Amino acid sequence: MTETKPLIEFKDVTFWYGSTEDQPALKNINLTIHEGDYVALLGLNGAGKTTLQLCINGVIPNSIIGEFQGEVIVDGNDTFETPVREMAKIVGMVFDNPEFQLSQMSVGEEIALGMESLGYSYPDMVKTIDEVLEIVGLTGLIDRSPFGLSGGQQQRLSIASALAMQPKILVMDEPTSNVDPIGKEEIFQVAYQLNRERNMTVIMAEHEVEVMAQYANLVVVMHEGEIVLQGTPEDVFSNVELIQNLGLRMPQVAAFGHDVEKLGLIDLGGQYPVKLDQAVETYGPLFNKKAG
Amino acid sequence: MEPIIKVENLWHIYPTGNVTAVRDVSLEINPGEIVGIIGQNGSGKTTLVKHFIGLLKPTKGVVYVNGKDTAPLKVQQVAANVGYVYQNPNHQLFARTVRDELAFGPGNLGIPEDEIEARVDQAVKFFGLEDFLELHPYRISFPLRKLVGMASVYTMRPDVFILDEPTTGQDNITTQTVYRLIKRLRDEGSTVLCVAHDMILLAEVVDRMLVMRGGDLIMDGTPREVFSNHEIMSSTHLTPPQITTLSLKIQEKYQSFNKTVLSIDEMVSEVQKSSQS
Ligand SMILES: Nc1ncnc2c1ncn2[C@@H]1O[C@H](COP(=O)(O)OP(=O)(O)OP(=O)(O)O)[C@@H](O)[C@H]1O
Ligand SMILES: Nc1ncnc2c1ncn2[C@@H]1O[C@H](COP(=O)(O)OP(=O)(O)OP(=O)(O)O)[C@@H](O)[C@H]1O
Ligand SMILES: [Mg+2]
Ligand SMILES: [Mg+2]
């Protein structure tokens, strides 16, 4: 792969929500994300995933009170010096609790709300709304009240709202926590398509490791405010003991590989398949002894 | 055995938007069963279970809990037997501190003070809430708030325990707490209904699964039956756990293998079997 230029750089970032006497929420974060990366942020509750994401759109340090050290550069902007409203044109945010983001209007108006500052003409706005509703699978619900939608439908709506701003970077904080499996698959697919086709950079915090292993090219594991592992899914999930000691889960097919390797039934050299197709290839022969 | 929940031709139509959320559903749940309810967003899972606690009344049909028609009952009357942990804890919690939240339910049931205290202590230990007892429920994180929601139902010791998406936003450690809760409820003889998108959780803990699609109950079977039913899985777009899918794909590829596994351990013992034969 050719080397692309860094789009997001964290340089020695430390952040405290309260006093510097307490444990910081982020500790010496150094992280480089390139344009077109699909990043999975993994870690236990409280590990610092959301805090790290809030540094990308500049809400930290600009809108949240705390003690901030270091530097975050996003698309050439030092977030410390750039107004949050400028950052909002580059970074779209999707949170895990859409209810708090919803207003009193219809689905269509909800999406239009964020677009107003972008100066769309009315026909362009309508067209974009239709497009994003189709992307998230909510076509036909444009006139419904967001409050009458199911939890998962609300979550898709907030993704549609973020997409309507046509950001370069999409930050998603557990965007599928209420979504059904197909909805999840769709949302990960949507993010993947935006990533592949429009080179959108995606930074996703997510507990479901199987899907992250499927889609992300960079996995970042956080623990108590620090980055403890980063690399490709295959590399990260070869650190089985560390992952398990941190209290995290391995993708099921990788955990399975580790278990059968320990029993001496297969030799994988400590590198386990993390994606389903790889797993079928690797493990199939184990189950075909008789026929073969 | 008398079913603890009996649903006869239940319909629920929301007046707003005229949505038919549950369409002519009939089912029975026996005491002590651990049942998962799955289906896409908007398929009617939450609407269905809200009838079991009297939060919603049938548009048509009847729901019996312990043999009693729930339609004329108030939520408080049903609550002695059925506990509901909301999908969204913000709709459930209202006390000023976590401790009050846990004590509220049993207090309302007229349980003696010392017994309430014992239950609260036990729940605090089980759910790991020691550090948050004096905080307002809104001051703690969403995943913790969900645990508080579960704990405050657990202190009521209902016969039927309904969990609506208990692992949403939970990390692996708190998801394990949910597993342990369901296993403990099973050991205590409670009936558990668990609405969930988390197939790994369901595969490992439930005996029976109800599959909803567009307001219809389209299948009622064991997890193994449901996961290996191609038609049901593809028409509801549900995805089994990754390890189950692996076993299904290997079945497709090698006819000599025909086990649909539900867990990593089951898959490992399949390899052991095939290496010994
Ligand atoms: N607004 C806040 N004020 C004070 N402390 C906070 C605030 N938000 C988060 N924290 C603390 O900062 C740390 C990191 O929290 P953060 O929300 O970033 O974790 P997370 O990895 O996103 O967790 P989760 O998986 O639960 O979403 C935690 O110790 C948390 O309690
Ligand atoms: N208060 C309401 N008013 C109007 N329609 C509603 C209301 N609550 C739910 N609905 C609609 O009823 C249908 C079933 O919703 P329900 O919440 O029961 O689904 P669910 O299976 O629990 O979904 P999810 O997985 O997203 O939680 C959906 O079409 C939903 O939009
Ligand atoms: Mg978070
Ligand atoms: Mg629901």
Query: Are A57 and A189 in the same domain?
Result: yes
B14 contacts in A (CB within 8 Å)? 148
> Exposure of B1 by Cβ count < 10 A (0-12 exposed, 13-18 middle, 19+ buried)?
exposed
pLDDT of residue A241: 94
The CATH number of the domain holding residue A195 is: 3.40.50.300
Residue A230 pairs in a beta bridge with A220
- Whether residues A68 and A98 share a domain: the answer is yes
In this prediction, residue A292 has a pLDDT band, given cuts at 50, 70 and 90, of very low
Q: Based on the domain organization, do A148 and A178 belong to the same domain?
A: yes
Residue B146, pLDDT above cutoff 70: yes
Which parts of B147-207 are beta strand (E)? 160-164, 191-195
- Structure-block tokens of residue B275: 């290496």
Q: Give the pLDDT of residue A291.
A: 43
Cα–Cα separations (whole angstroms), residue B8 to B15, B28, B62:
21, 9, 5
A245 domain-assigned: no
Domains of chain B by residue range: 241-277
Residue A1 pLDDT exceeds 60: no
What's the gap in Å between A250 CA and the centre of ligand 2?
33
* Length in residues, chain A: 292
Does position A290 have pLDDT exceeding 60, yes or no?
Answer: no
Does residue A288 or residue B140 have the better pLDDT? B140
Higher pLDDT, A20 or B65: B65
**Shared domain check, A204 and A98:** yes
Name which of A224-233, B103-112, B136-145 the model is least confident about. Answer: B136-145
Question: How far is the C-alpha of A186 from the C-alpha of A156, rounded, in Å?
Answer: 10
- Amino acid in the structure at residue A277: D
* pLDDT at B128 > cutoff 50: yes
Q: Under an 8 A CB cutoff, do A260 and B19 touch?
A: no
Asked if residue A286 and residue A189 are part of one domain, the reply reads no
* Contact flag B170-A45 (C-beta cutoff 8 Å): yes
**Looking at residue A46, what DSSP letter applies?**
T
Nearest to A50 by CA among A192, A224, A174: A174
Across chain B, mean pLDDT equals 93
> How would you label B248-261 residue by residue, b for 16+ Cβ within 10 Å and e otherwise?
bbbbeebeebebbb
Q: Which residues surround ligand 1 with Cβ inside 6 Å? A: A 17, 25, 43, 45-51; B 141, 143, 171
The pick from B141, B142, B175 for probing ligand 1's pocket by mutation, whose C-beta has the most ligand atoms within 8 angstroms, reads: B141
**Same domain, yes or no, for A291 and A208?**
no
Size of interface A-B (CB pairs under 8 A): 148
- Beta bridge mates, A68: A15
Instruction: Encode pLDDT of B206-222 as tens digits.
Output: 999 999 999 999 999 99
Flag whether pLDDT at A289 surpasses 70. no
* Domain assignment present for A238: no
Among the residue ranges A83-97, A100-114, B46-60, B182-196, the one predicted with the least confidence is A100-114
Highest mean pLDDT among A1-5, A37-41, A130-134, B232-236: A37-41
Distance A245 CA to ligand 4 centre (A): 33
Q: Is the pLDDT reported for residue A183 higher than 80?
A: no
Tens of pLDDT, residues A243-253? 999 999 999 99
Over residues A203-232, mean pLDDT: 95
Q: Give chain A's domain count.
A: 2
Q: How many CA atoms lie within 13 A of B180 on its CB side?
A: 13
Residues A224 and A274 grouped into a single domain: no
- For the CA of B45, the nearest ligand: 2
pLDDT bucket at A178, cuts 50 / 70 / 90: low
Q: Are residues A84 and A113 in the same domain?
A: yes
Question: Mean pLDDT throughout B47-76?
Answer: 93
Residue written as token pair 């990960």: A188
- Clarify whether residues A150 and A289 are in a common domain: no
A158 and A264 together in one domain: no
**Which of A234, A96, A67 has its CA nearest to residue A154?**
A96
Residue A69 CA to ligand 3 centre (angstroms): 21
Q: Which ligand is nearest to the CA of A52?
A: 1
Residues 6+ apart with CB under 8 A from A249: A209, A243, A255, B172
Please give the residue range of the domain that contains residue A162.
Answer: 6-233
Cβ A283 vs Cβ B246: under 8 Å = yes
Kindly report, residue by residue over B50-61, the tens digit of the pLDDT. Answer: 999 999 999 999
Q: Band of the pLDDT at A136, cuts 50, 70, 90?
A: confident
pLDDT of residue B235: 87
Q: What CA–CA distance (Å, rounded) separates A273 from B134?
A: 46
Beta-strand ranges (E) seen in chain B are 5-14, 19-29, 34-39, 60-65, 68-69, 82-85, 160-164, 191-195, 208-213, 216-221
Asked if A150 lies within 8 A of B14 by C-beta distance, the reply is no
- Give B177 to chain A, closest Cα distance, Å: 12
What value does the mean pLDDT take over residues A191-200?
Answer: 84
Residue B257 has pLDDT above 60, yes or no: yes
Please tell me what DSSP assigns to residue B207. Answer: S
User: Which of A12-16, A106-110, B147-151 comes out lowest in average pLDDT?
Assistant: A106-110
The long-range contacts involving B102-109, CB below 8 angstroms and separated by at least 24 positions, are: B102/B129, B102/B148, B102/B151, B102/B152, B102/B155, B103/B155, B104/B152, B105/B79, B105/B152, B105/B153, B105/B155, B105/B156, B106/B155, B106/B156, B106/B157, B108/B76, B108/B79, B109/B79, B109/B80, B109/B156
Which residue in A256, A260, A262 has the most chain B C-beta atoms within 10 A of its own C-beta, making it the best mutation to test that interface? A256
**Residues of chain B with pLDDT > 70: what percent?**
100
Please indicate, yes or no, whether residues A226 and A255 belong to a single structural domain of this protein: no
Q: Are residues A201 and A291 in the same domain?
A: no
**Is the CB of B253 less than 8 angstroms away from the CB of A247?**
no
Q: Rounded mean pLDDT of A202-207?
A: 93
